[in-house]
Amino acid sequence: MKKLSAETWSLAWCIAVFPPIWAVLAPYLKVDVGAVALICAGLYVTNGNKLVDAPKITIGFLLGDLWGWLAVNAMQKSPWNAEVTTFMTLFLLGGAAVIIAAMRSEIIHCPSWLCGWAITLTVLSPLERSLQGSYAIQIAVAMIVGVWYVGAFLNTVQQCILRFTEGHTSNDINFAGRKSS
């Protein structure tokens, strides 16, 4: 059987503790879409857990949330054929998002914009129009929590755990399940 690294054990512990705390707190904060945070944290992690990129990833997600809300409203209010409206809305907003993000890449993360847009479209599309505004705000909150709490904070805690465990040279068992030497 393969032995697990200290990185794996510390990450498992952090994932076991921090996202469930958010899952329990989210309904008390009137956020019904708390799982969105996990998706956003995943994108933050795949970007390399770079804290320096967290602000522009957050901006990208928030722009994506706005884009999703605009797209759903445009598609629902359009008098044209549904397929034509869907194509044109996605064509225009998708192209604009990429161009704007490229022109302002120092402050906007394009992948998070597109991902945030897809998340918001998915959540808002089946909802009644009267709920879409409040859900768009809930999605934005979950996106921010995903990047900063589940992503950046969890990574910081994990790095502290790894530094702490590396500093012990006694016969304590470390996270990898081996005795330290």
Element (H, E) at 85: helix 82-103
**What is the rounded (10 degree) CA torsion for 74, 76, 79, 84?**
70
CA–CA gap between residue 85 and residue 79 (Å, rounded): 8
pLDDT of residue 168: 53
pTM over 0.75: yes
pLDDT of residue 2: 86
pLDDT of residue 16: 97
What token pair was written down for 19?
């996202």
pLDDT of residue 1: 83
The 8-class DSSP code of residue 27 comes to: G
In order along its 181 residues, the chain shows pLDDT tens digits of 888 899 999 999 999 999 999 999 999 999 999 999 999 999 999 999 999 999 999 999 999 999 999 999 999 999 999 999 999 999 999 999 999 999 999 999 999 999 999 999 999 999 999 999 999 999 999 999 999 999 999 999 999 999 998 865 433 433 344 444 4
Report CA torsion sign: 13, 19, 22, 23: negative
pLDDT of residue 167: 67
Residues recorded for the chain: 181
**Residues forming a β-bridge with 173:** 179
pLDDT of residue 64: 98
